[in-house]
Amino acid sequence: MKKLPIGKQRFANIINKNYLNKPILFILFVIFSFNAIAAQTNVIDSLMQKLQFAAEDTNKANTLLRLCREYLIINNIPEATRYNDSGLTLSWKLNFASGTALGLTYKALFLRLEGKYKEAIEQLEKSISVCKQTGDKKGIGFALNELGLIYDFLYDYPKAIAKYGDALEIWKELKDKEQIAMIYNNLGLIYTSLGNLEKALEYYQQSLKIKEELGNKDGIAASLGNIGLIYDHLENFEKAEEYYQNSFEMYKESGNKKGMANMSNNLGNIYMSLENYELALKKYMSSYSLYNDLGDKLGLAKAFNNIGLIYMEWNKYDDALKYIKKSLEIKEELRDTIGLANTLINIGDIFKKSGNYKEAIDYYNKSLHLSESINFISRIMDNYKAFSEVYSILGNSTKALEYYKLYANMKDSVYNADIHKQITEMQTKYETEKKEKEITILKWEKEVEKMKFDKEQDKLIKQRILFGFSIIILLIASFSVYIFLRNKEIKRRNSLQSELNRYMQKALLQQMNPHFIFNTINSIQYFILNNDKIASNEYLTKFASLIRIILENSEHQIITVGEDISALKLYLELEALRFDEKFDYEILLDNSDSLLKYNIPTMLIQPYVENAIWHGLLHKNGKGKITVELKKTNNSLLCRIEDNGIGRKKAMEIKQEKKQKYRAFGTALTETRLKLLNSLYACNLYINYIDLFDDSGNAAGTKVEISIPIIS
């Protein structure tokens, strides 16, 4: 699969974000769970006629709120706002509780679209309070849905998950399967944003299962689109295209033009990522036509934006600006704050590509300020990167580096190959289990039919013999089912245990990446800037060797002691160089020739050596020393790591004074792995911490003893 060039990846991300947010359609599905959107004009006309002859009562309030809903469906925000204000005012006047609660929820929706999240939350709390007074659980559920969405927009994912959890309890109590499926879908979107794609896929599949039970074709289509979104995130564009196309066909079958338009847009994004601009433009024009038929202004803005980006790639900058500024006008009219932030950065990109860097910087500033005002983190990050690129082109390396550091500090973890594999395995597992379940049911049905047939053929056999024969058949069938289920459970447990081991190994091998590699690169940069070619070359050579060894070792769950010691030596040499020989070290091996050949789990020792350096030696006045000793004891290796640092008590005091929040994940993971090994091999492996003191009772360092298993 062709991968995007670095310079074009962010354009695709901006396009993807446009359809990820879906601020209007998304909330409508959350609240109303419509199966299709059709003939809205006829519905509005009918409600308008009803309104002309309505008295000032609750029926009129309901009609006004229904008009608000219908205008929301076609994304006519000004009209929706006007009718909601009228419906809410009348509901207050009539003391109409359910109308008041729904009007407050709608008002919160409009405030959210304007980026006024605090005010939106206040309206929803009022709505919940009104619903509690009247016992309206459904109204509470709708308000909690919207609260979850707002906290999602605020990137406060823990609160969003909590609100969706509260809503889920209500919908389960009310046995509202459509809303339960929608909550699972929303949770999937959150975990997609968090990068936890395994969890996201799990929720999407739960949502899909319920929608299949309900026969909700539009819901199934939406779930297929969201699963496609996961593959889109992973840049598995072939798989993403397959899911988007299947989703489009289901929407087409049910006549849902809105869904067809969204999937056409998503397919256009795929082809944009693959640089197939002609096909991308064809899909965007198709989505434009569908949005235009629906009178969907927000959809039209999305289509104009994406068509403009196509013309930008073709270096037709005037056409690109014409289309994207049309998108900007619509988003200003609709008060779509998030959409404005997206469109402003796109305009900046056009000016940057056309060489008008002053205008580019101006639009990036507008996008950044707007994004900061609503805490739109992903777009803030994109603006930082855009500034870095522009200032680099202008030769202002200081500002370019400044903005790149801001971008790098906010950048989320990159999805690696293991996650790709786990996602594929989870999807395959779901499809396989579904097929196995269908086969099992079919076999059982055939078995029942066979038993009925045998019973009819054996009418002349005495009742006692027939009864005994039936019991035997039933016992055999029950025993077969028992054996099948037991074997399946054993396989499942073994598979989960194997996955857990591999996951923990991978997590451990990556634990030194975040700070060690960053600090090492800074040190190399320091030597280079000071024109110390010898030191920088030596440092860079050792750093490259260490990275190579780590990458080689990461391919294996076990390595030899010699291989582990080689990596440890390089790590100690790099740390000693980086801290200007602030400490000495020595590695002592008992019967070194035979000891080096033993197999042990990968990277168990290094986290404790790192702990000794960072928390024991760096705060010590004077030169420090660290000693690593290895010797064989029975069926394990005893590793002692001893330093003459400030001691654990003093290190903890320094940590508390500086109010550090750092947690030693490396040592914690190692201890967890040793516990797992104890469980798997029935051995007694341990970690022992010993505080050292001098003759005067003062702290003189720390000794750590680790019992490491020797693996055949």
Q: What is the pLDDT of residue 575?
A: 84
Tell me the β-bridge partners of 584.
625
CA distance 528 to 538: 11
CA distance 671 to 663: 14
Q: At what angle do helices 257-273 and 297-313 cross, to 10 degrees?
A: 20
Interior angle at CA 412, CA 406 and CA 415, nearest 5 = 145
Q: Are 683 and 629 in contact (CB under 8 A)?
A: no
Residue 444 tokens read as 């059982």
Residue 601 tokens read as 């789990």
Number of H helices, E strands in the chain: 30, 7
Reference 287, options 314, 313, 305; nearest CA is 305
Reference 13, options 343, 190, 233; nearest CA is 233
Q: Output DSSP code: residue 634.
A: T
Task: Measure Cα distances from 667 to 413, 549, 687 in Å.
Answer: 21, 20, 10
Name the pairing type of β-strands 636-643 and 599-601: unpaired
Amino acid at 448: V
Radius of gyration of the chain (CA): 32
Reference 79, options 62, 89, 64, 95; nearest CA is 64
Residue 586 tokens read as 């020595």
Task: Calculate the CA 255 to chain-centre distance.
Answer: 32
Q: What is the pLDDT of residue 444?
A: 58
Residues in the chain: 712
CA distance 330 to 304: 10
Residue 596 tokens read as 């080096």
**What are the φ/ψ torsions at residue 640 (nearest 5 degrees)?**
-110, 130
Q: What is the pLDDT of residue 591?
A: 75
Token pair 């446009």 is found at 18
CA distance 31 to 417: 37
Token pair 């990556």 is found at 510
Could you tell me which residues come within 8 angstroms of residue 19 by beta carbon, excluding any fewer than 6 positions away?
A: 262, 265, 266, 269, 302
Q: What is the pLDDT of residue 624?
A: 92
Q: What is the pLDDT of residue 437?
A: 52
Reference 132, options 84, 160, 98, 157; nearest CA is 98
- Helix or strand run (H / E) with residue 67: helix 58-73
Q: At what angle do helices 97-113 and 117-134 cross, to 10 degrees?
A: 160
Q: Collapsing DSSP states into helix, strand and coil, what is residue 637?
A: strand
Report H helices in 74-196: 77-94, 97-113, 117-134, 137-153, 157-173, 177-194
CA distance 563 to 239: 40
Reference 414, options 235, 241, 189; nearest CA is 235
Q: What is the pLDDT of residue 450?
A: 66
Q: What is the pLDDT of residue 76?
A: 84
Could you tell me which residues come within 8 angstroms of residue 168 by beta carbon, excluding any fewer than 6 positions away?
A: 180, 183
Residue 386 tokens read as 């855009």
Amino acid at 260: M
**Using a CB cutoff of 8 Å and minimum separation of 24, what contacts does 535-540 make?**
535/577, 538/577, 539/574, 539/577, 539/578
Interior angle at CA 697, CA 693 and CA 698, nearest 5 = 65
Amino acid at 441: I
Residue 102 tokens read as 């729904």
Q: Are 592 and 688 in contact (CB under 8 A)?
A: no
Q: 448 burial class (0-12, 13-18, 19+ CB within 10 angstroms)?
A: exposed
Task: Calculate the CA 595 to chain-centre distance.
Answer: 44
Report H helices in 530-558: 533-553
CA distance 490 to 412: 37
**What are the φ/ψ torsions at residue 480 (nearest 5 degrees)?**
-65, -45
Q: Are 149 and 27 in contact (CB under 8 A)?
A: yes
* Mean pLDDT, the chain cut into blocks of 10 residues (712 residues total): 28 31 30 40 84 88 91 84 93 90 92 86 92 90 92 82 93 93 90 81 90 88 89 87 93 90 93 92 94 88 93 93 92 83 92 93 93 80 91 90 86 44 52 60 62 65 75 82 78 56 51 60 73 77 81 76 89 83 88 81 82 86 91 88 91 76 57 68 79 89 90 74
CA distance 616 to 610: 9
Report H helices in 510-591: 518-529, 533-553, 561-578
CA distance 312 to 314: 5
Residue 591 tokens read as 């019967």
Q: What is the pLDDT of residue 710?
A: 82
Interior angle at CA 88, CA 87 and CA 91, nearest 5 = 85
CA distance 600 to 608: 16
Q: How many CA atoms lie within 13 A of 190 on its CB side?
A: 25
Could you tell me which residues come within 8 angstroms of residue 489 by beta carbon, excluding any fewer than 6 positions away?
A: none
Reference 290, options 434, 75, 452; nearest CA is 75
CA distance 162 to 453: 55
